Amino acid sequence: MAKHPDVAIIGGGIIGLTSAYFLAKEGLSVAVYDQSDFGKEASWAGAGIIPPGNPDRAATPADKLRGIGSVRFPTFSAELRELTGIDNGYRLCGGIDFLEPEDRDVPTVWHAEGIAFERLTLAGAKRLEPLGEVEGEPHLLPACAQVRNPRHLRALITACDRVGVRLNANTGAEAWELGSNRITSVQLAGGERVIAGRFLLAAGAWSELLLRPLGHRPHVRPVLGQIALLKGPSCSRVLMLGKRYLVPRGDGLTLIGSTEEPEAGFEKRTTAAGVEELVAFARRTVLPLADATLETSWAGLRPGSPDGLPFIGNVPGWDNAFVACGHFRAGVQLSIGTAQAITELLTGKPTSVDLAAFALDRTPDTSTKSAFRS
């Protein structure tokens, strides 16, 4: 690789690593810098739900990003497995979404998008899964899938290495050196300066710290999410009830998520109350889980944004600065679409998704509702 990479990526979570892999496959020289180990923050902690979608009939750019993820995840998983030998655990397990009264428009959105679904009666849902107490109207989503995040991250890291991405762990970016309208270099912890053609900021919940010196304050902030892992007989599909969900891994383990704590700051920790609440939810929702054992629990910092949508595209005012952050509850399902759009942008191609909706200087529109919460 040339001494100075074409693209220096700050942040090696799912967004930075997927982008690095796609860019390197297009022939660009890429280096990724992470302040700790790669893929150990939100991307590691997430539940890995990949809801269904259809990019050709999506109504909004966010739905289109989700649709790209839904359609490309199976082939991308196979590509990673072939290249690295690592199976990321992608599985079309199906799901049941229990819609609440405020979700009354959601089936119309699914229908318009061409997503397969079936409205179930409660008795019908109970014939499919060993349900206990549930609220909401059950809707079967046969094309709902899941991926095992830690395995997917391991596959991505290995794949990046195989295609020549330079991976630099424990080298956090501390400051930019700025020209009049360009970033000249980034200064790393330890003092080294890295010069690159272009810079992509993909630092998850920490991105705001590096956007401020560029004159932007989009209010990307950490939103803590706790998860409990239970062991024992369970359901077989992903169950989604409001902001809570159960993700059966198919090996006797069920992931119960998740809390949403916007005031916890950067303190990544589980609490007795948070885990107890998740376990109680699981026990009343799926009958056999009443006898499950608590295997472990963990927490992650979602990169929250004011309207829940990510920031993807050029950093206004800086010719060679780009951003991909703020994916909040959906960074896994949006990772492929995001990396695809970033790669198109950085290789001079028209983007398959209209990036105006994800502009750093947009006015947040909190009235936009997502067809899925996770």
Residue ranges in contact with ligand FAD by CB under 6 A? 10-16, 33-36, 41-43, 45-49, 172-173, 202-206, 210, 225, 227, 257-258, 300, 302-303, 325, 327-333, 374
Q: Are strands 30-33 and 7-10 parallel, antiparallel or unpaired?
A: parallel
| R_g (Cα) of the chain, nearest Å | 20
Give the residue with the Cβ less far from ligand FAD, 72 or 126: 72
Shortest spacing between CB 350 and ligand FAD, in angstroms? 24
Element (H, E) at 31: strand 30-33
In the complex with ligand FAD, which residue's Cβ is closer, 40 or 126?
A: 40
Name 313's bridge partners: 323
**Shortest gap between Cβ of 206 and ligand FAD (angstroms)?**
3
Burial class (CB in 10 A: 0-12, 13-18, 19+), 277: middle
Rank residues 59 and 209 by Cβ distance to ligand FAD and give the closer one.
209
Q: Which is closer to ligand FAD, CB of 169 or CB of 287?
A: 169
Quickly count: other Cβ atoms within 10 Å of residue 1's Cβ: 12
Q: What angle do CA 65, 71, 72 make, to 5 degrees?
A: 85
For ligand FAD, give the closer residue by CB, 13 or 138: 13
CB of 127 to ligand FAD, least distance (A): 26
State the minimum distance, in angstroms, from the CB of residue 46 to ligand FAD.
3
Query: Toward ligand FAD, which CB reaches closer, 28 or 201?
Result: 201
Helices (H), 169-317: 207-211, 272-285
User: Could you tell me the smallest distance in angstroms from the CB atom of residue 247 to ligand FAD?
Assistant: 7
Q: Write 58-63 long-range contacts (CB < 8 A, 24+).
A: 58/113, 59/109, 59/112, 59/113, 60/357, 60/368, 61/353, 61/354, 61/355, 61/356, 61/357, 61/358, 62/309, 62/334, 62/357, 62/368, 62/370, 63/109, 63/113, 63/371
CA angle (328, 332, 336) in 5-degree steps: 115
Cα 373 from Cα 241, distance rounded (Å): 9
Cβ 92 to ligand FAD shortest distance, Å: 15
Nearest CB to ligand FAD, comparing residues 140 and 203: 203
Residue 123 C-beta: closest distance to ligand FAD, Å:
28
What is the Cα–Cα distance from 77 to 177, expressed in whole angstroms?
38
Taking the least distance from each CB to ligand FAD, the nearer of 35 and 370 is 35
* Shortest CB 124 distance to ligand FAD, Å: 25
